[in-house]
Structure formats: structure tokens, C-alpha cells
């Protein structure tokens, strides 16, 4: 263990260029016989917004707790701004955390809450007052300094929590499902606000969530996690349109799964056949499969279009779900595993053009990805 640490210790400065804010090197965490995190590797650019996305129990919160120092890893190293964190106690890590329920100290005023980290550092009182005032102005709560947390609304409490975490000028900001306690309208507004503040301060941020729409809308990059492993790391667009993992494709966004056969591979592209319909996919995810092998084709609802009967996959319009800017059309079709395709049609004309019961053809028009079928 000691030799290993020495090894990574000497290697780290070379690997940690000035632009890497956080480097997670093969971090593993076990709880008894249960492995919550399997050798996680991740590099996060300084000043960027990285999201750990996954269902509950996927290990994202464990990783967050390891970063904050609330848990000790069973192996691997964590670097923040090039500094080894693994042996640093949590109170010396200079990492700001916004907790799920904010964890604002109920017995202290907003000012005292925000100034807590500065007081713990022995910052002189006058400087605390001015830095707290600046921070409260940044989160638009200048007039609320003397209130107690319980006298604030959910959104205001969240801003206090953010101000408290940022006032210490942390090297890294951790956000632990911070929007889950807010109602839906407030959530969108707070997401924009937090993103703006994060960008203006340029603080490296790791955001933990199970909500894929939050992840897609806020992140510079997303690490999708499942069962203690990081499945894919990429920009929101890469994650949404070019998933490299079956779990990622089905967890992020809505998706249609169609049984298909691999036809042939050419360099980095491949083609698969769904019945008589040929669809182009990236070859990376079907590596090692022979032509003719069964695969599952994943197609987003917005990468499908409805056309006249006879084109694409045959189907019958089953229902319309009006969504304002678009209409979700459900099409009964034998081509899909579930027997029903979801097609997202922009505009509001779909119910008139394709009434329920009409026989249609559904054509793939955008990105599609194929994966080997799930092991039975």
C-alpha cells in the first residue's frame, strides 16, 4: 500500500497539468462485503461543471463523500488542484459542500451561517462582515442577514447554503442533489442562477443528481454511474446522442429499443437491419460481433419521424400526448420490444395529421446506437 502510494505520488504532478481541477485515480470504497465504488477514474477540468448522474445506490453519493472527506477510500487517490487529498482531514480540504437539505445551522442567523467557515479560519471580524455581505449580495439576499434559516423559503435557504459554501473560496464546490427539495418552478430558476454564479466565480464544481434533465441542462460534462461504476463520461450532447453504454442509453432520456441484426461494419460505422429497414450506427458499441448477430437498436423519440404507410417500420397511431412545444405520439408497432414506439413530433399538428388508428410508417432520421443484447 505504501509503495503504491509513493508510486502514484511521484507520478501525480506530471499527470496533473494546471488545468486539471480534480483527479480521481482508481478510487474504491467498500462497505463490508459490498463494493459501493469500483475503481473510479475521473479527471475534471479546473472551473468546469461536472455532474455525477445515476440512480440511487449507484455510488455517486459515496464518491461525493470521499471527495469531501466524510468517508475514507479503501484504495486509490484523490487530487484537488494537484494536491493529494486522501490523507487530508475533511476540515482542511477547502471544499465547499451544498447539502441536499442545505444543513443550515438552525440556531444561527443567515450572516452567522455564511460567516461560519471564515470564523473557523480565524479571519478577522471586519473582513468576515465584508465578505459575508459581498456573498449575500451575490445570492441576492442582502436584506436577509439577520433572519434565521427557518424564516426563509426553500429557494432562499438554498442560496444561503451556496453562499456559505462559496465564501471560503473553495478549490472545489460539491452540490449534493441540491434541487430535490424545491418545487418544480423554482428548480429551473435556481438551476440557471447556480450555473451563472458558478461560471462567474470559475469554481470547479461537482454536482450529484439522479435527475437526467438537471444533468443535461447544467453540466459541462456528465459522468453517468451505475452499480458503483462510472459508465460513460462526456458532454451532455455526447451522453444523449452517442451513448457508449447500454445503461447510459436507457437511463438518460427516453429511448425506443428495437431488436435488429448487425449487417456489416465499415471503419467506425456499422449498419443494422430492423426488418427491412437499414439503420446506420457507430461501430464502437458493436465491436467483436459478427455480421448477422442480434443487436438492440436504441433510438431517441426525437430521432424518429412519422410518414406514410409503407415507409420505415409499420405501425398504427395509438395515442397523442400534448406537450406544448411538441407532441409525443405513441405508435403500436411490432418492430419494437415493448410493442409501442414513442415518437416526438415538433409543433402541435400531429393529432390532426396522424389521427388515432391511422396506419403509418416510422423512419429513423437521427442518431441511433446499437448494443449487444442483454445477457439473459
Partner 1 sequence: MKTRPFLALFVSPAALAALALVGALAAILQYAFRAFVPGSMEPGGLTLANFEALLRPLYAGVFLQTVWICLITALVTLVVAYPLAYAIVRSRSVTLKSFLLITALTPMFLGEVVRTYSWIIVLGNSGFINSVLRGLGLIERPIQLMFTTTGVVIALVHVTLPIMTIMLAAALSHIDAAYEKAATSLGAGPVRVFLTVTLPLSMPGIVAGVTTAFAWTFSAFATPQMIGGGRVPMVSTLIYQLGFASFNFPFAAALSVTGLALTFAVLALAKAALSPLERMGAH
Touching partner 1, residues 126-155 (CB under 8 A): 150
| Inter-residue long-range contacts of 182-189, CB under 8 Å, 24+ positions, other chains counted | 182/154, 182/155, 182/158, 183/154, 186/154, 186/155, 187/214, 189/155
Those residues whose C-beta lies under 8 Å from the C-beta of residue 333, and which sit 6 or more positions away, are 313, 314, 315, 316, 339, 340, 341, 362
Residue 179 CB, nearest approach to partner 1 (Å): 16
Residue 97 CB, nearest approach to partner 1 (Å): 4
Which of residues 10, 56, 107, 287 is near partner 1 by CB under 8 A?
Answer: 107
Based on the shown chain and the rule CB under 8 A, indicate whether residue 92 belongs to the binding site for partner 1: yes
Based on the shown chain and the rule CB under 8 A, indicate whether residue 99 belongs to the binding site for partner 1: yes
Based on the shown chain and the rule CB under 8 A, indicate whether residue 353 belongs to the binding site for partner 1: no
Query: DSSP string of 302-341?
Result: GGEEEE-TTSSEEEEEEEEEE-SSEEEEEEE-TTSTTSEE
Based on the shown chain and the rule CB under 8 A, indicate whether residue 121 belongs to the binding site for partner 1: yes
Based on the shown chain and the rule CB under 8 A, indicate whether residue 124 belongs to the binding site for partner 1: no
HSE value, Cβ hemisphere, 13 Å, CA-based, for 304: 30
Pick the closer one to partner 1 by CB: 121 or 309. 121
Pick the closer one to partner 1 by CB: 65 or 212. 65
Pick the closer one to partner 1 by CB: 104 or 281. 104
Touching partner 1, residues 181-210 (CB under 8 A): none
Per CB under 8 A, the segment of 91-99, 139-147, 191-199, 283-291 that binds partner 1 is: 91-99
Per CB under 8 A, the segment of 99-107, 178-186, 214-222, 345-353 that binds partner 1 is: 99-107
Classify 84 as helix, strand or coil: strand
Rounded to whole angstroms, the Cα distance separating 172 from 205 reads 6
Between the alpha carbon of residue 132 and those of residues 127, 216, 270, 354, the distances in Å are: 8, 32, 57, 59
Between the alpha carbon of residue 56 and those of residues 25, 62, 227, 331, the distances in Å are: 23, 11, 9, 31
- Cell, residue 120: 473557523
Residue 212 CB, nearest approach to partner 1 (Å): 25
Those residues whose C-beta lies under 8 Å from the C-beta of residue 41, and which sit 6 or more positions away, are 24, 25, 26, 230
Nearest to 208 by CA among 232, 230, 176, 243: 176
Per CB under 8 A, the segment of 12-20, 89-97, 218-226, 230-238 that binds partner 1 is: 89-97
Q: What are phi and psi of 77, to 5 degrees?
A: -130, 150
Per CB under 8 A, the segment of 113-121, 133-141, 252-260, 281-289 that binds partner 1 is: 113-121
Residue 169 CB, nearest approach to partner 1 (Å): 11
Number of residues lying near partner 1 (CB under 8 A): 27
Which of residues 40, 80, 165, 297 is near partner 1 by CB under 8 A?
Answer: 165
Residue 170 CB, nearest approach to partner 1 (Å): 9
Pick the closer one to partner 1 by CB: 161 or 225. 161
Per CB under 8 A, the segment of 41-49, 80-88, 92-100, 304-312 that binds partner 1 is: 92-100
Residue 117 CB, nearest approach to partner 1 (Å): 3
Which of residues 164, 221, 242, 300 is near partner 1 by CB under 8 A?
Answer: 164
Residue 260 CB, nearest approach to partner 1 (Å): 48
What is the torsional sign of CA 145, 150, 155, 157? positive
* CB environment 202-228: b (16+ within 10 A), e (fewer): ebbbbbbbbebebbbebbbbbbbbbeb
Q: What angle do CA 29, 231, 194 make, to 5 degrees?
A: 85
Residue 130 CB, nearest approach to partner 1 (Å): 18
Touching partner 1, residues 33-62 (CB under 8 A): none
HSE value, Cβ hemisphere, 13 Å, CA-based, for 134: 12
Pick the closer one to partner 1 by CB: 24 or 249. 24
Residues in contact with partner 1 by CB under 8 A are 68-70, 90-97, 99-101, 103-107, 116-117, 120-121, 150, 164-165, 168
Amino acid at each position: 500500500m505504501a509503495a503504491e502510494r509513493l508510486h502514484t505520488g511521484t507520478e501525480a504532478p506530471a499527470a496533473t497539468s494546471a488545468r486539471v481541477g480534480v483527479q480521481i485515480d482508481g478510487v474504491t470504497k467498500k462497505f463490508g462485503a459490498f463494493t459501493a465504488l469500483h475503481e473510479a477514474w475521473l479527471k475534471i477540468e479546473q472551473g468546469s461543471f461536472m455532474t455525477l448522474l445515476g440512480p440511487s445506490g449507484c455510488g455517486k453519493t459515496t464518491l461525493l463523500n470521499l471527495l469531501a472527506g466524510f468517508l475514507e477510500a479503501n484504495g486509490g487517490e484523490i487530487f484537488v488542484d494537484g494536491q493529494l487529498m486522501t490523507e487530508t482531514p475533511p476540515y482542511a480540504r477547502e471544499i465547499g459542500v451544498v447539502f441536499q437539505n442545505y444543513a443550515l445551522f438552525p440556531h444561527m442567523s443567515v450572516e452567522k451561517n455564511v460567516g461560519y467557515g471564515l470564523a473557523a479560519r480565524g479571519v478577522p471580524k471586519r473582513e468576515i462582515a465584508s465578505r459575508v455581505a459581498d456573498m449575500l449580495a451575490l445570492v441576492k439576499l442582502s436584506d436577509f442577514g439577520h433572519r434565521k434559516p427557518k424564516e426563509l423559503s426553500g429557494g432562499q435557504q438554498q442560496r444561503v447554503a451556496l453562499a456559505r459554501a462559496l465564501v471560503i473560496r473553495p478549490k472545489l464546490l460539491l452540490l449534493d442533489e441540491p434541487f430535490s427539495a424545491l418545487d418544480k418552478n423554482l428548480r429551473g430558476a435556481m438551476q440557471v442562477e447556480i450555473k451563472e454564479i458558478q461560471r462567474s466565480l470559475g469554481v470547479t464544481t461537482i454536482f450529484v443528481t439522479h435527475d437526467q434533465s438537471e444533468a443535461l441542462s447544467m453540466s459541462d460534462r456528465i459522468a453517468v454511474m451505475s452499480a458503483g461504476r462510472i459508465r460513460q463520461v462526456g458532454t451532455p450532447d455526447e451522453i444523449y446522442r452517442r451513448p457508449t453504454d447500454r445503461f447510459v442509453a436507457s437511463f438518460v432520456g427516453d429511448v425506443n429499443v428495437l431488436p435488429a441484426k448487425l449487417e456489416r461494419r465499415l471503419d467506425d460505422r456499422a449498419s443494422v437491419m430492423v426488418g427491412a429497414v437499414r439503420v446506420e450506427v457507430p461501430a464502437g458499441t458493436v465491436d467483436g460481433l459478427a455480421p448477422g448477430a442480434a443487436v438492440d437498436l436504441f433510438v431517441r423519440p426525437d430521432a424518429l419521424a412519422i410518414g406514410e404507410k409503407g415507409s420505415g417500420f409499420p405501425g398504427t397511431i395509438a395515442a397523442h400526448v400534448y406537450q406544448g412545444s411538441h407532441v409525443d405520439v405513441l405508435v403500436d408497432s411490432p418492430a419494437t420490444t415493448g410493442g409501442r414506439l414513442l415518437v416526438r413530433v415538433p409543433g402541435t399538428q400531429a393529432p390532426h395529421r396522424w389521427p388515432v388508428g391511422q396506419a403509418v410508417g416510422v423512419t429513423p432520421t437521427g442518431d441511433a446506437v446499437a448494443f449487444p443484447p442483454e445477457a439473459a
